[in-house]
């Protein structure tokens, strides 16, 4: 405690001791004496004040990186469309499309697409190429209805088959407790809570085919599992249909040997970037919401 004498007045001034850790156990001490117009530093050590970074600056840097990433992706898409795409289309895509259209009619293709989307997930096979074909053949409207109906079967069969191997799947999940804790969120709470958790899991980057079999071990009801899965798969279905339509557009342009005009390339790049940005947005949003659900459950357990 120190005293500051000024105009015959005795004022008590608090004395601060700041310890700076060194190599020994004693460390160094800096005493700060606060007077009316002065701050004294003993031992001549420098004390610097670090101001926290502005939140606005961090947000600006984040969006700047995001825009640069989208621009880079757009540049890659432009290069692919201009040079790489035509080569692949002429050698691979166009022969397959010609064989497909000459061999199968539209109704037969619809049956094949429906069967593959309904059965492939049960066999742990990806069904995305089938959704591309649906986009090429039927477009957004009929293609989406065809895929969403087939997907309802494709996610139901593994759910009921997985119930026969419930204990084995549970033992496998116990080896990955962190991811299993996310899946178990879908088996807690009421109908809406389960529906919401399943929807977020479907939007998140968790493997689609694996969750079909693992869901039954979390005690989630079939109703919220089915409807939550269908709602969560909507963005992925539209992206796959868009990809199929894009492939068909590029194939037609390459087959007619006139290429894409500058406006078509610009709109294609913009559409691709918008699709990527939407996918990233929904994925990040789903991951954040899942973390919030985990925190809520941990608080309830306490």
Q: How far apart are CA 114 and CA 108, in angstroms?
A: 10
- Tally of domains within the chain: 2
Q: How many helices (H) and strands (E) does the chain have?
A: 11, 5
Same-domain pairing of 15 and 100? no
Q: What is the pLDDT of residue 147?
A: 96
Q: Is residue 69 part of a domain?
A: no
Residue 290 within any structural domain of the chain:
yes
Q: Which residue has the higher pLDDT, 235 or 287?
A: 235
154 close to 114: Cβ distance less than 8 angstroms: no
Q: What's the pLDDT band for 45 if we cut at 50, 70, 90?
A: very low
Q: Are residues 102 and 49 in the same domain?
A: no
Integer Cα distance of 223 and 194 in angstroms: 9
275: pLDDT strictly greater than 60: yes
pLDDT above 80: residue 213: yes
Domain holding 210, by residue range, is 75-301
pLDDT at 56 over 50: yes
Tokens 């389960």 appear where?
194
- Residue where a domain terminates, one of 14, 30, 63: 63
Q: Give 11 or 190, the one with higher predicted confidence.
A: 190
- Residues 6 or more apart from 53 whose CB is under 8 A from it? none
Residues 138 and 117 in one domain: yes
**Residue 86 sits in the same domain as residue 56:** no
* Residue 121: C-alpha distances to residues 33, 142, 215, 221, 243 (Å): 73, 21, 14, 20, 20
pLDDT at 106 over 70: yes
Least confident of 3-12, 78-87, 179-188, 223-232: 3-12
For residues 50 and 177, membership in a common domain is answered with no
CA–CA separation, 215 and 213 (whole Å)? 6
Q: Indicate whether 70 belongs to any domain.
A: no
Tally the C-alpha atoms within 13 A of residue 270's C-alpha that lie toward its C-beta.
Answer: 6
- Whole-number pLDDT of residue 222: 92
pLDDT reading at 138 higher than 50: yes
Per-residue pLDDT band for 153 (boundaries 50, 70, 90) equals very high
Residues, the chain: 302
Per-residue confidence band for 42, with pLDDT thresholds at 50, 70 and 90: very low
The DSSP output letter for 219 is T
Residues 122 and 177 in one domain: yes
């Amino acid at each position: 405690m120190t005293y500051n004498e000024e105009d015959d007045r005795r004022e008590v001034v608090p004395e601060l001791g700041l310890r700076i850790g060194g190599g020994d156990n004693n460390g160094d001490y800096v005493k700060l004496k606060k007077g009316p117009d002065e701050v004294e530093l003993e031992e001549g050590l420098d004390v610097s004040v670090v101001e926290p970074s502005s939140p606005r600056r961090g947000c600006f840097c984040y969006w700047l990186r995001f825009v640069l990433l989208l621009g880079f992706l757009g540049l890659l898409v432009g290069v692919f469309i201009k040079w790489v795409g035509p080569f692949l289309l002429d050698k691979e895509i166009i022969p397959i499309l010609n064989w497909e259209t000459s061999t199968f009619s539209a109704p037969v293709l619809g049956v094949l697409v429906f069967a593959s989307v309904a059965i492939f997930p049960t066999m742990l096979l990806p069904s995305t190429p089938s959704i591309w074909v649906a986009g090429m053949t039927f477009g957004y409207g009929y293609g989406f209805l065809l895929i969403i109906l087939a997907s309802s079967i494709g996610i139901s069969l593994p759910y009921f088959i997985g119930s026969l191997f419930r204990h084995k799947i549970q033992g496998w999940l116990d080896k990955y407790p962190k991811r299993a804790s996310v899946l178990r969120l879908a088996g807690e709470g009421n109908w809406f809570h389960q529906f919401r958790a399943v929807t977020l899991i479907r939007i998140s980057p968790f493997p689609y085919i694996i969750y079909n079999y693992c869901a039954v071990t979390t005690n989630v009801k079939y109703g919220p599992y089915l409807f939550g899965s269908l709602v969560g798969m909507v963005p992925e279905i539209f992206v796959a249909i868009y990809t199929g339509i894009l492939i068909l557009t590029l194939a037609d342009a390459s087959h007619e040997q006139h290429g894409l005009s500058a406006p078509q390339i610009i709109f294609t790049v913009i559409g691709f970037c918008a699709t990527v940005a939407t996918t990233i947005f929904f994925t990040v949003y789903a991951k954040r919401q899942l973390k919030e659900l985990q925190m809520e459950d941990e608080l309830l357990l306490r």
